[in-house]
Amino acid sequence: MSKVTFSIIKADVGGWPGHSTVHPDLIDACAASLDTAVETGVIEDFLVTHVGDDIDLIMSHRRGVDNPEVHQAAYKAFLAGTATAKKLKLYGAGQDLLSDSFAGNVRGMGPGVAEFEFTERPSEPVIAFLMDKTEPGAFNMPIYKMFADPWNTPGLVIDPNMNKGFIFEVWDIETHQAIFLSCPEEMYTLLSLIGAKSKYVIKRVFPKKGHKLPHNEPVAVVSTEKLVEVAGEYVGKDDPVAAVRAQSGLPAVGEVLEPFSFPHLVSGWMRGSHNGPLMPVGLDNANCTRFDGPPRVVGLGFNVANGQIGEPNDLFADIAYDNARKQALHVTDYMRRHGPFEPHRLSLADMEYTTISKVQKELQGRWTPIDQVARAEIRVIGEVE
């Protein structure tokens, strides 16, 4: 039997209303489109779901990563959702689709992609993580904790299949370069990079040679598309997704989920311009309303069998995450009290591609060198030529 490919492709094609959630008709339109992809043999199984205003297509197939037919099927689904969004006059209809025509691969066309190909094990648990109102670097801390932190993952200490560690592939998303770092040997070097989450992003995690799993098959993958890099201007936050394999020489499902019991601060939230806590929620609470947030993460557990993903387990719907949600809400209140001030608002360097740049351009010509201020005329709006 050929290898299985697990693909998550996401896009914002219209919010209901504003940026809060997805209209059910858009989900139905995307699902109907993917039904055709199953009938024609392009994909084997799928789920259409959402977090906030992002539609997430979770698919299984045997065509490998970056397959043009699979990506085209996903793009057609998003176009169907966009057509429905335009009929309903939803906000931001087709926002993440930067072209009406498919160019062979959705990478660089707006949607986010996380997919890996692997040899199916006797039991194959895969967790799909879906985020809204944040950026790819939001996964840095959780993925690090899963595969490198023994306080989070005791399997790194007590499981002989894991205590040699894992290899992290890190991308510099500004210079478009990648590096592979081995943990635990290069743990401090890894942390020196991924702590700067707006620049360095964990892309994939691999087993080391000698692990019972093939060392060239990823065990975790994160979407790293930056919309400002694609569109050239701010068109919304990147809202990343990730897929993580679990058990049998990998972190247990509980170890994979444990990092999200701490609602760490991430960038995004309102207008993509604020820091806030990442709140783990079940699908019933995947609606971003408080200040268009706070940022959310949904965790769906699948047991892949014979190429089929089957029904998901809504993992963060568990009451065990109630305290994390309460803490996130307390942090939300605290951060909101800062209003337009940092550190609630992002630093100017991180806001370079947001709409604040247009505000700054309006001030050009009104600045005076400090050593000339004493003899300069007071120039305010309405008095500038």
The answer to whether 114 and 59 are in contact (CB under 8 A) is no
**Residue ranges of E strands in 175-273:** 177-183, 200-207, 220-222, 241-245, 265-268
pTM of the model: 0.94
pLDDT at residue 235 in the model? 47
Q: How many CB atoms lie within 10 A of CB 349?
A: 7
- Provide block-wise average pLDDT over 10 residues at a time, the chain (385 residues): 93 95 98 98 98 97 97 96 97 82 70 96 98 96 98 97 96 92 98 96 95 95 72 60 97 98 97 96 97 98 98 98 98 98 92 77 86 73 56
Give yes or no for a contact between 52 and 19, defined as CB atoms under 8 angstroms apart: yes
Task: Report the chain's terminal Cα–Cα distance, integer Å.
Answer: 74
Give the model's pLDDT for residue 383.
57
- Residues 301, 222: Cα–Cα separation, whole Å: 16
Catalytic residue numbers, as ranges? 12, 234, 237
369 CB-near residues (< 8 Å, 6+ apart):
none
Listed by start position, the domains of the chain span 4-354
- Report CA Rg, the chain: 22
Instruction: Give the 3-state secondary structure of residue 376.
Output: coil
Predicted local confidence at residue 234, as pLDDT = 45
Residue 95 has a pLDDT of 87
pLDDT of residue 79: 95
Q: Would you state the structure tokens that stand for residue 8, as one six-digit string?
A: 């998550």
Dig out the tokens for 63 from the structure. 């065509």
